[in-house]
Amino acid sequence: MSTRLLLGLLAALFVSSAAASTDIDWWENAALYQIYPRSFQDSDGDGVGDLNGITRRLSYLKEIGITATWLSPIFKSPMSDFGYDISDFKQIDEIFGTLADFDALMLEAKSLGLKIILDFVPNHSSDECEWFQKSVNREDGYDDFYVWHDGKLNAETGEREPPSNWVSVFGGPQWTWHETRQQYFLHQFQVKQPDLNFSNPMVREHMLDVLTFWLDRGVDGFRIDAVPHIYEQRNADGSYRDEPLSGWNSDPNSYDYLDHIYTKDQPETVELMYEWRDFLLKYQAEHGGPTRVLLAEAYSPVETLSAYFGNGTRLGTQLPMNFQLMYLSGHSTARDVVGAIDYWMQTMWTQHQTANWVIGNHDTQRVANRMGAHKVDLLNVIVNALPGASVTYYGEEIGMSNVATECTEISCDGRDGERTPMQWAPVQNADFSTADSPWLPVSPDYMRFNVQTERGVARSSLQVFKGLQQLKSSAAFLAFKKKDGFSYEALTEQVLQIVRTNNLNEEYRILVNMGNAIEIIDGLADRVFEYMLVTAYSRHRPGETIDLSNRLLLMPYEAIVLRWLA
């Protein structure tokens, strides 16, 4: 059966599911896609991706079944941390284009039915931001816009020292002396990223103004960066307590040297998430349109993420991002996968009936490197077969891998390997740019792993990914909030089974062999199922049938999607 015929069959079969579940909001079952703008598509030949390049490629996102795309920062920035150091929260950095280019992107996205989510970086600004310069000079209203402190005097030496022993995420002290202001300022990240003081109501008002500015331009939500770090605990007298040692890292300049009980996940941060959700609900009531969504980036315990979602009386971020599957390795078994799923579901699903699954981002090695290239499809199957929203980092749908990079004048970041140009076609620079040298090197395997080539290969990672998105609109997949609408278990040490059903006339069984040996499963069900999707390691073809009361054989690293229809 041809790929085109298979996808057409899938689409036709799922037409009847349109009204399957009217109680599901768009974000609950969404296919989200992260774009790193510098690396997605260059439109002007300077070697760096830009907004017009993204606009040109939006039809591709529609093709592969994406609901919404999240753009990493595109705002004006000196690029010390590649856009996460913002100097103007309401302007597009010239390397990406202009506000007019952004408006054109929004117009194209709306015409395609795609939603746009922006990165929102509230914890800090660039030290080149106008707000920081005003705060340095103690201008009226900006004096305590950032976190400043006189420091403390060493009783023995009489010398001035930082207010506390806090260590920044990137290493070294969180406090830096500012000669002009004659005080220390706090920066949980780089020195060039001073922390905003959210205890100041004026700061919160400025940030609501930023949200309003972009909402008025049509965006559908925000991914909130570095949520746990927004507030710090301060004593009543304005001093700051030292954090205790972690006990498992002996380097005093390492972030892991301390247990961050005063600088992460403070109660005020949870309240701020509720405040922002209230603001979005008010905005929607006044302007209408689809639900505006908040994603929260928080590498925090699931119990903390539950508080960020809501407390039973107040609502917070709809999607506190779930990174549990990112902690899997090439040695992880099906039981390990179930453990990662359980950790989320036993808290978040039990309390809130919400789930999302992330397997990659711009700060983490790609799946092909963490798990092995032979397991890319397995992770894509799992993340899209589980109930809830899936989050795909650009290029994971075609099996891109990390690239060895060297320091250049443009970049010398240890995370560059997972940020290299998107691979579109087997031509120069993978059709990312016409420049002689893109800002980061294109992977040497781009001739094999690229969109154009994989469109023509029936069992390519891209075709598997597209088929999975079709499944998400089926009646069985849309019944995930109903009683017994899904289940998952490790049938053996290496075989994972996910079941999706509407308990009426449609059921899917997704089976994934995480191991390197043939697995035999007996007596799964007293029904005849049809093979709907198979990966490259499978011996079967879509359209074949199997009686699951008999023996099922799974090849090493094989994943299959079976369907029963009454």
Write down the catalytic residue from 50, 297, 416, 454. 297
Q: What is 440-488 written as a DSSP string?
A: SPPPTTTTTSSHHHHHT-TTSHHHHHHHHHHHTTSTTGGGTTSTT-EEE
Residue burial 483-498, b: 16+ Cβ < 10 Å; e: rest: eebbebebbbebbbbb
CA 428, chain centre distance (Å): 29
Which residues is 490 bridged to in the sheet? 496
d(CA 275, CA 231): 14
Burial class (CB in 10 A: 0-12, 13-18, 19+), 143: middle
Neighbours of 413 (CB within 10 A): 15
d(CA 182, CA 165): 19
Residue burial 511-538, b: 16+ Cβ < 10 Å; e: rest: bbbbbeeebebeebeeeebebbbbbbbb
Cβ atoms of 408 and 48 within 8 Å: the answer is no
Burial class (CB in 10 A: 0-12, 13-18, 19+), 434: middle
Active site residue 271: no
Does residue 6 sit in helix, strand or coil? Answer: helix
d(CA 399, CA 79): 28
d(CA 68, CA 356): 14
| Residue 338 backbone dihedrals phi, psi, to 5 degrees | -60, -40
Dihedral of the alpha carbons of 262, 233, 301, 280, in degrees to the nearest 10: -150
Cβ atoms of 20 and 478 within 8 Å: the answer is yes
**CA nearest 391: which of 318, 463, 457?**
318
Q: What is 265-293 written as a DSSP string?
A: S-HHHHHHHHHHHHHHHHHHHHH-SSPPE
Which residues is 152 bridged to in the sheet? 161
d(CA 236, CA 238): 5
Q: Is 399 left (phi over 0), alpha (psi -120 to 50) or beta?
A: left
**CA nearest 368: which of 389, 395, 332?**
395
Burial class (CB in 10 A: 0-12, 13-18, 19+), 128: middle
d(CA 333, CA 494): 5
Write down the catalytic residue from 81, 225, 454, 506. 225
Active site residue 225: yes
Strands laid side by side in the 148-149 sheet: 148-149, 183-186, 175-178
Catalytic positions are: 225, 297
